[in-house]
Structure 1
Amino acid sequence: MFIDEAVVEIHAGDGGRGCFSYLREKFRPKGKPDGGNGGRGGSVFFRASQRVETLQDLSIRHILRGNRGDHGGSKNKHGKDGEDIYIDVPVGLTVRTYDTDEIIHDFTEVGETFCVAAGGRGGRGNAALVSRNNPDPDHAQYGMPGEQLKMKLVLKVMANVGLVGKPNAGKSTFLSSVSKAHPKIADYPFTTLQPQLGVVRLPRRHQSFTIADIPGIIDGAHLGKGLGIQFLKHIERTQVLAILVDGQSENPLAEAEKIVEELRQYSSLLLEKPRVFILTKGDISADTVVPEGWFSMSSVTGQGVTEVLHHLFTLVAQIKGSQREPVEVG
């Protein structure tokens, strides 16, 4: 199940209590203060990992708790700090405040780590409270509570290229033909019910890019119709938009214009991304006139696919500022 939103409560560990104690020795029933400090509470960290793709686990674990610090002991024994906990999250996750939806952190790279809730400071024992003005403290400190926060987690799939088009435009077939991804393919709308990611590896070494198959867009998607804005948000993370139109369409240009308008209605920033228009199913629509500036391909026969991949990779490389040589076609 692809879950891309979750609400969680984070409770970092409380600090341990400081100890109130006096040194006990023979013939010295009450020596100097020797109560140790409490340990710091464990903090809670999020860590971006490739091993996690959805928020399913976090949607089940509504409350995440850190470890409490140990209490201090006599003879100046300090309590052990609570162990920090690290929770793996997907790359592309944004951590937001629950009430105001303000972005606290945005995970964009594998291995990126962020402390979402800090553990509480341990309380000082009476030995640590000794001063010139107070040589015999009559108390020890309680530990401070760890941070407690309620957060909204939102995941946006990260990919170099986002495949955009109406249901049955051939996006899933294209993705499965150029990568090892296995999206569901069938002859009815909305076969893609969740974003699918695939890695395209080109003939030359180290030349690759990622493609995301975004569920089909219909008229009114920006208003929530069909799968609506639930998946339109994933397009925001992509660098290049590949707009696929069924080669059997009576008016490919008009269909493409509707798709672009849906993107604009959702966010005008999407129109700033490079766009590539592709007429699909070229094997069964040989008589269709390909609009000027468009690509035509057939994912079944492979006709035109190499040219499309070449162009997409070149755009991605330009955006990254890469100095890699262009892909050889053929």
Structure 2
Amino acid sequence: MRAAFRSSVVRLDLRFFSQESLKAPDNAPRAAANEQWLDHLKKSKRDPRIASNLSESREELTDDTHQSNEFPINILSIPPETHYINVESSLANFTSMKYLGTFNKHKHRQGNFADVRIIKCRSGGGGDGAVSFFRDAGRSIGPPDGGDGGDGGSIYVQAVEGLNSLSKLRTTYIAEDGSNGGADQLDGARGKDMLITVPVGTVIRWCMDPKSTRDFIQKQRPSSGNGSSVRSVLHKSMVKLQCRGRFELDPIPRCIQLFRNSYRPGEGWIFKGKDEVYHNDKEWFIDLNKKVESYDMSLYDTELEEDTFPLFGLDLGKPTKKPICLLKGGKGGLGNMHFLTNLIRNPRFAKSGRAGLEQYFMLELKSIADLGLVGLPNAGKSTILNRISNARPRIGHWEFTTLTPTIGTIDLGLGEACFTVADIPGIVKDASNDKGLGLEFLRHIERSRGWVFVISIANDDPMADLQTLINELGGIEKAKSKNVLVVCNKADIDFDKEHPINKFNEIAEFCKEHSWDILPMSALKGENVDILVKKMAKCAQATGHF
């Protein structure tokens, strides 16, 4: 899939100017001040400098991005061969299976919990500059006094404590446009910003439009054969992106370059009275437009620096003190008061405001729990969590009782550190191929220090069940990166017979080979619960194998 994330691209050489020399004069400029400003525009030269395109807060979050948030990319070209670092990656990295519900037969919801949301964000466009002239009793038309348009509002995000779900998020966030300039040199009001508050542990990624993705999959599935799953189509289809690094010729992609659908430098004029054809035929306007084109170019360069988003997303693993800007609002247009010169006495034209920016973002909530409780459906995970914590998950005798993650807190008593446990929906064989509930909730235990595998010793082959869990979670090497505790639940069922004991001994030998701890218990009868809590506390606090 060759999906372009940009609605419009203006292909121009990157130029960098001194922003102070190109800044338009403040309100009430005289002709001499405008002449000086326009002269600076005419003489402006390129200023090669490091183009840092991230705010300090965003830079820090990008550097601290968890390794699990990264995904494979192919670098197609780098500067100076191309202006940008052209990369491609699988479509699966830029969408969510939950938003492909037409094809996902295992779409489950429980309560008001939501851990994945795709939202559309649009920053406000800048207001237009005004064409106006001063009037009083002595003269019908005085000097130009049209004010500048207000800047458009921006989209901000902030991670705050106290939230535990993304269910309250809206599907669309639109910042306010800037107001148009007015007479008497009145600048337009700045558009109101939009602030999005999310739970701590949220990862924000740039993503594709869900509707476009669904339409694409509908067209691709018939040609891929009846046996192809949605996930296979997503992994085979590629998205091409233009990226940039820390500095101008950096070959390592760090940020996706976003583009506005705005006017080109030298365009965007608003005429009053005489039209564009009339003005483009006048030498004085052609000369003026060449100078103002440098001002437009400086705005375009500023937008390129600001309109970026980290390739591997923003990881809001801790509360953010200040809101982080996702999309910057458009700059307001210049009023006609800036175009008064010794030659141009009655400028009947002004500049339009710059367009805002519209993008889609995928928000994933990754619970920050000390331990992850993992098991096959109906292994007794929820019963265990109910016994040892203040969480009250739904418990039943049918598979997939737990449809959403449950976070429980275990308090060891006065003077002891408490720890948290995440109970995720049961994992079955071939979950990675969309069977059962899939691996949609694995994100909630990615950051955990330890994993607690819950195995039902009453099953025919509990050792095979353990192998299934390990394989579906990424294999033995992935499991070795965690502290692991294996809990053999339902040990009260015929445990006095030889066969259940042999099954337990087989698992115990496997755990010994990998330096994992193991415990038999009965969550239903409350047997070995105290020992389990102590072992889980050790697993949660240990820094290595125990």
Identify the match of residue 540 of structure 2 among 316, 323, 327.
316
* Structure 1 Cα separation of the partners of residues 328 and 494 of structure 2: 60
User: Which amino acid is 1:214 matched to?
Assistant: I
CA contact (8 A) 1:94 1:103 kept: no
1:114 has 2:338 as partner: no
Moved more, 136-145 or 240-249: 136-145
Higher-Rg member (1/2) = 2
Aligned positions of 1:100-111 closer than 5 A: 100=239, 102-111=311-320
Query: Whole-Å Cα distance in 1 between the matches of residues 460 and 204 of structure 2?
Result: 44
8 Å CA contact 2:483, 2:542 repeated in 1: no
CA distance in 2, matches of 1:70, 1:275: 59
Specify whether residues 285 and 175 from structure 1 end up closer, same or farther in structure 2 by C-alpha distance, changes over 3 A only: farther
2:25 corresponds to which residue? none
Distance 1:187 1:195 in 2: 18
Measure the CA separation in 2 of the matches of 1:246 and 1:314. 22
Q: Structure 1 residues 299 and 25, CA, compared in 2 at 3 Å: closer, same or farther? A: same
Write the distance in 2 (CA, Å) between the matches of 1:306 and 1:135.
88
In the alignment, which of 9, 16, 20 is matched to residue 120 of structure 2? 9
- Go from structure 1 to structure 2 and tell me whether the alpha carbon gap of 1:129 and 1:261 turns closer, same or farther (over 3 Å shift): same
Match of 1:326 in 2: none
CA RMSD across the alignment: 2.9
Give yes or no for contact 1:279–1:295 (8 Å, CA) kept in 2.
yes
CA distance in 1, matches of 2:391, 2:355: 46
1:235 to 445, 459, 474: 445
Encode CA deviations 1:124-166: one digit per residue, 9 max, x unaligned: 2223455677665432221111111123333333322110011
Question: Could you tell me which residue of structure 2 aligns to residue 297 of structure 1?
Answer: 521
CA distance in 2 between partners of 1:119 and 1:17 (Å): 14
Pairing 1:151–2:260 present: no
Q: Distance in 1 between matches of 2:183 and 2:377?
A: 70
Q: Which residue pairs with 1:281 in the alignment?
A: 490
Q: CA deviation at 1:97?
A: 2.5
| Sequence identity percentage | 33
Query: Where do 4+ consecutive residues of structure 1 move more than 6 Å?
Result: none
Contact kept in structure 1, 2:124 and 2:330, CA below 8 Å: yes
Equivalent positions of 1:81-230 (< 5 A) are 81-99=190-208, 100=239, 102-111=311-320, 113-130=323-340, 137-205=347-415, 207-230=417-440
Q: Secondary structure at the match of 1:7?
A: strand
Q: 1:130 to 1:311 in 2, by over 3 A?
A: farther
Greater helix fraction, Structure 1 or Structure 2: 2
Preserved CA contact (<8 Å) 1:172 1:192: yes
| 1:91–1:107 CA contact under 8 A, matched in 2 | yes
Work out the CA distance in 2 between the residues paired with 1:314 and 1:130. Answer: 76
2: distance between equivalents of 1:218 and 1:35?
68
> What is the rounded CA distance, in whole Å, between the counterparts of 1:135 and 1:274 in structure 2?
77
Native 8 Å contact 1:160 1:210 kept in 2: yes
Amino acid at match of 1:165: G
Contact 1:264 1:271 in 2 (8 A): no
After TM superposition, give the deviation of residue 284 of structure 1 in Å: 4.7
The structure, 1 or 2, with the larger RCO (C-alpha pairs under 8 Å, 6+ apart) is: 2
SS in structure 2 at match of 1:64: strand
Distance 1:11 1:268 in 2: 42
Q: 1:25 to 1:270 in 2, by over 3 A?
A: farther
Q: How much has 1:39 moved relative to structure 2?
A: 1.5
Question: What is the deviation of 1:5?
Answer: 3.1
Give the TM-score, by structure 1 length: 0.83
Structure 1 residues 51 and 135: alpha-carbon distance in aligned structure 2, compared to 1, 3 A threshold: farther
Structure 1: unaligned runs, 5 residues or longer: 321-330
Give the superposition deviation at 1:172.
0.5
What is the correspondence of 1:1-80 to structure 2 with a 5 Å cutoff?
Answer: 1=110, 2-58=113-169, 61-80=170-189
